Amino acid sequence: MNILVIHGPNLQLLGKRQPELYGKETLAQLNARLKKHAAYLGQTLRIFQSNCEGGIIDLLTANAAWAEALVINPAAYTHYSYAIRDAIEGLGLQAIEVHLTDISKREPFRRVSVIKPVCLAQFAGGGALSYLTALDYCVSIGN
Ligand code: DQA
């Protein structure tokens, strides 16, 4: 299965950014774990990070024909980007939303996800495990 992984804004700061919340692992280390797990599952990944709403939409558009599933951490865009939501819906992507932290237990503005309604599932609060579980979930929908 071809799985597109998108990391949203500020996730390039992983390892440095509020490690008590987001952990000490860098984005490169997280991506290495994702690639290793995908290889174990026999899946193919394309991984991107973007700090821009339009950049994420362009990545979704450019990879939509290739991607059989999307694993996306929209980061802060989760809470207000109707544009990303519309792109996922409009492109017909089978999307899984992931978060390192449990957004349902954080500040009120983080408890809302405008992306969730266009996703098949949401995994949050597990750190890197949220992403790894999303890859497992992709395999389950691919069969
Ligand atoms: C996040 C949660 C968002 O609220 C925040 O803006 C992020 C990261 C997470 O993975 O827990 O940047 O998506």
Quote the percentage of the chain above a pLDDT of 90.
Answer: 99
> What letters, b where the CB count within 10 A reaches 16 and e where it falls short, cover 34-67?
beebbeebebebebbbbbebeebbebbeebbeeb
**Closest Cα to atom 12 of ligand 1:** 75
User: In a mutational test of the pocket of ligand 1, which residue from 56, 80, 101, 123 has the highest number of ligand atoms less than 8 Å from its CB?
Assistant: 101
- Global pTM reads 0.98
Which residue in 29, 38, 95, 99 sits closest to 68, CA to CA?
A: 95
14 pLDDT band, cuts 50/70/90, is very high
Categorise residue 18: left if φ over 0, alpha if ψ from -120 to 50, beta otherwise: left
Taking only the tens place, the pLDDT of each residue in 88-139 is 999 999 999 999 999 999 999 999 999 999 999 999 999 999 999 999 999 9
142 pLDDT band, cuts 50/70/90, is confident
**Closest Cα to atom 8 of ligand 1:** 75
Number of CB atoms found within 10 A of residue 142's CB = 14
Please tell me the predicted confidence (pLDDT) of residue 143: 63
Q: Which residues are near ligand 1 (CB < 6 Å)?
A: 10, 73, 75-76, 78, 99-101, 103, 110
**What is the atom index within ligand 1 of the atom nearest the CA of 130?**
10
Quote the percentage of the chain above a pLDDT of 70.
Answer: 99
Mean pLDDT throughout 1-15? 98
Q: 2-142, what's its fold?
A: Rossmann fold (3.40.50)
Model confidence at 84: pLDDT above 80: yes
Model confidence at 44: pLDDT above 70: yes
